[in-house]
Amino acid sequence: MKKLWLLFLGILVALVFTGCLLHPFGRGGSLGRPTSARDYFDYSAWDVKEGEVLVKANAVGSLEDVLVKEGSVISREWPEIGWVAATVPEGETVGSFMDTLKGYKEVLLVEPNLRYTLPVQRGVGELEILVEPEGDLYDRQWGFTNINAEAAWDLTVGAPDVIVAIIDTGVDVGHSEFLGKMFVDGYDATGEGMPDVDLNGHGTHVAGIAADDGRTGQVGGVAWDSPIMPVRVMNSAGEILTEYLIDALECLALYAAVFEQRIVANMSLGGRGYSYALKDAIDLAISQGVVVIAAAGNEYNRSIAYPAAYNGVVSVAASTPRNERADFSSTGWWNSVAAPGERILSAYRDGYAYASGTSMAAPFVSGAAALLLAEYPELTPLEVKNQLEQTAQGVGFNERLGHGVIDMLAMLGPVEPMAYGTLVVETDLDPKADGYGVITLFASDGSLAGYGTIGGDGSHTFHGLAQGKYKVTLTYWDAPAEGWEIVFKEVHVNLGSVAEAKFRLDT
């Protein structure tokens, strides 16, 4: 994080001088005794960075001493969320070293450094490049009509104090389409120092959809007056790693806190593996008011993807010109809303291109969220998510389109009642004496609905939960038994109310 503080120190100085594998509880997802949170995932099938693991420190003992003892070195730190990246000692594999570390009370969680991908372009016009476009191309952008954008623009076209951050391959800020567009200083989480360079083209296309100024250039985006912040997370080798995403989200959280800035973060990327570290980084960003919006994925079927499936994130499916699900768009309970994602025209490299995918759908929603915050600046990220869902064009919820295709005009209307519940988990653990506890939350079908660790007061609060029955598990270090233990309770969460789960361990 040293480089982040140097970055923001530089910004402040400038301002002064310039005035899954998911295992169910049992066969068929029965509510039997769940697996410990520390062993819940099998990462062996996923693509990971070799030679490195991510470790979350417990509140007891010294993680650094453990790593030194095992011949490992800390290569990167994120103190705001309590995680580090550590090298795998010679003679160990990522998997074997993770197993070794799980035996220590000083290690709360350990996971691999996962690789993520851009959703593969799918369907009609997979990537149709317009080499020499002629004249205004706005009439070819069918999506704005379907989301009622033009009527919404009569009310607001965004605001300069609501930033749209594009967590992607970088953004070509020098593209002719962006002439006159407001950008804020970007951040390169890969360490290569090129946030304003897009070697792929994906990030530029996404940025154009979200926030290109429709009054200039040949195409338009959704949030005309919202600045774009490029946040590069794909390195020059084409890799997107968990560590880059953590860095990006911590950067946005810090930026929002230092400058009291409202930010919408678009993440048109994903992976099948659940990362506790990435979830902590997303929770940190959300706690600072950052709205996180992610592409649902282009797997044609019910395939879970992260960050889209994390609770608190707005997951976006892709729709067709007839407001139906695009055939490639992933389905699932985690889908929040849908937006146009078939043959979408935007800026691309040296020109323009049509592309299809949930990568294109997500930035429509990010732009819409920026307009919503311009109109209602006091809304929290959960309230933004709720408003997008409750004003969408669907009738109820379905796994194909979530709550339906967004309706920007309805979205800017009266704020809708909260359609989510809250769960407060209390324990009698004293982190200073007993260490932290890991809390996992499972829905009635056995799917992981939430994760967190207890704070200094021994509790954790889950926001944005759908109504229903949940199993709450607490994994903690049992000092007398010198081992990790797990206990669990069942609880029912109702909409608009606060449920409680209390663990009394008498430790």
Q: Which are the catalytic amino acids?
A: 168, 202, 359
Strands 187-188 and 228-232: parallel
Would you call 109 helix, strand, or coil by DSSP?
strand
What burial class does residue 23 get, using C-beta atoms within 10 Å of its C-beta: 0-12 exposed, 13-18 middle, 19+ buried?
middle
Give the C-alpha distances (Å, rounded to integers) separating 505 from 437, 487, 488: 11, 9, 11
CA distance 143 to 341: 8
CA distance 339 to 144: 10
Give me the torsion for CA of 107, 112, 118, 122, rounded to 10°: -120
- 255 sits in which H/E element: helix 242-259
CA distance 409 to 61: 54
Q: Is 209 left (phi over 0), alpha (psi -120 to 50) or beta?
A: alpha
Would you call 145 helix, strand, or coil by DSSP?
helix
Residue 465 contacts residue 311 (beta carbons within 8 Å)? yes
Neighbours of 457 (CB within 10 A): 11
Task: Scan for tokens 């860095």, then name that residue.
Answer: 247
